[in-house]
Amino acid sequence: MGVTLILMRHAKSSWEDPTLDDFDRPLNTRGRRAAEALGRWLRNRGHLPAGVLTSPARRTRETLERLRPFLPPELHQRDEPRLYDAEAATMLEVLRSGPRLSPLLLLGHNPGIGELAEALVAAPTPHPDFLRYPTGATLVVRFPAADWAELEPGTGDVADFVVPRDLG
């Protein structure tokens, strides 16, 4: 049967206030629009998560707020402090010990989330932005593992990939 992961980098954040701590940076106007477009894309493509693990940083929480109108109302959400500024190995640990829900959306930050995307797939998508993993990049990947605890790098099959620029 397998499990499905939706791996999303937060939408574009604002650098307008240089006094804000990185953790507290909000989305900018472009990021808010992109997050809504990504939500529509997820819904229209049928990539609806049953659960979400998100970094507690403001920009990831705001990205999820903009996605929410397009996602199932019964979505199980958990803020996961270990995802803030995490390396790929930490994100993999979080996934392996995460909720037993599939599809599962993991919402985090680069460089870790891009490195995790690259490590998880058996073969990368030919999309020119995949290895760069820009803001809003979203990968849908399926694994043969029956449970998140069995998740192994290099075993995922890319089902879909998009960046906000692709959505107009």
Per-residue pLDDT of 26-76, as tens digits, reads 999 999 999 999 999 999 999 999 999 999 999 999 999 999 999 999 999
The answer to whether residue 140 scores a pLDDT higher than 80 is yes
pLDDT for 88 beyond 80: yes
Decide if 22 contacts 58 (C-beta within 8 A): no
- pTM: predicted TM-score of the whole model, two decimal places: 0.97
The pLDDT tens digits of the residues spanning 110-139 come to: 999 999 999 999 999 999 999 999 999 999
| Total number of domains constituting the chain | 1
Which CATH number covers residue 56?
A: 3.40.50.1240
Domain housing 64: 3-167
Long-range contacts from 22-28, C-beta under 8 angstroms, 24+ separation: 22/57, 22/85, 23/56, 23/57, 23/58, 23/84, 24/57, 24/58, 25/57, 25/58, 25/59, 26/58, 26/59, 26/62, 27/59, 27/62, 27/63, 27/66
Position 113, amino acid = I
